Amino acid sequence: MGKLDGKIAIVTGSSRSIGKAIAIAFAAEGAKLVLAARGVEGLNATAKEIKALGREVEVIPTDVKVEAEIDNLFKKTMARFGRLDILVNNSGVFHAAPIDKVPTEDWDNVIATNLRAPFLCTRAAFTIMKAQGGGRIINIGSISAQRVRFGNVAYSSAKFGLVGLTHTTALEGREFNITCGILHPGNTERDIRPPEGTGWTAEPYLAQEEIASAAVFMASQPPEVNVLEVISLHKDQLYLGRG
């Protein structure tokens, strides 16, 4: 038996990188997946790996910055599976620049993707989970929500906000058996790395599968257990005392 047998899970940003790894790890533990992202080709590639595991999967191309597309995502999920047990808010973008060099449109894009979209998805999931008697929401944060660094203002601001969204969701969800936690990855291998010259490329990185295993741990707890925050990073990464 898998740790997530029969669970229905939506994973946003599941066309590549951490989101893809989480979706595949959930499927390996028995979950049925709904994959959401803008990249159709990547979504189909993830779905192919999940089908190879013998799991059901639904691909729903979604731009999480568009409210109507999020509404469509949850509507189609309910039409296909009739319930939602787990939501993973993973979609995210990054823009590196000093505060005085950040274009407003880049700020807006980061906030819309990394904070507004998780709120919209959480609101939709909360409504479903409240009616069905419970569920679990996992937000993918960042250690940038706790230890800021130069040239990271939009990303850190969004991830700090995501912590607030997580805690508020956990508080308001208690009476409805809805749990909410946040997973903070340190540097993790991704399809796109920060640009050369930022100093990040010289730091150690975790494999995507190691972050996915932490997400499985959070998702597979008994319904009365909420794992509020997890920090997962390479033991040699600069974190404590960094700036």
Residues forming the active site? 155
Among residues 187, 120, 117, 177, the alpha carbon closest in space to that of 147 is found at 187
As a whole number of angstroms, the distance between CA 214 and CA 206 comes to: 12
Which tokens belong to 44? Answer: 């189909």
Task: Tell me if 83 sits within 8 A of 132, measured CB to CB.
Answer: yes
Residue that is written with structure tokens 């009739």 in the block? 82
Nearest 5°: the CA angle 127, 214, 180 is 25
State whether the Cα torsion 75-14-193-198 is positive or negative.
positive
Distance CA 91, CA 23 (A): 13
Dihedral of CA atoms 66, 92, 194, 27 in degrees, nearest 10, equals -120
Q: What is the DSSP string of 179-198?
A: EEEEEEE-SB--SSPPPTTS
**Angle between helical axes of 40-52 and 17-28 (0-180°, round to 10):** 20
**Measured between alpha carbons, how far is 4 from 8 in angstroms, rounded to an integer?**
9
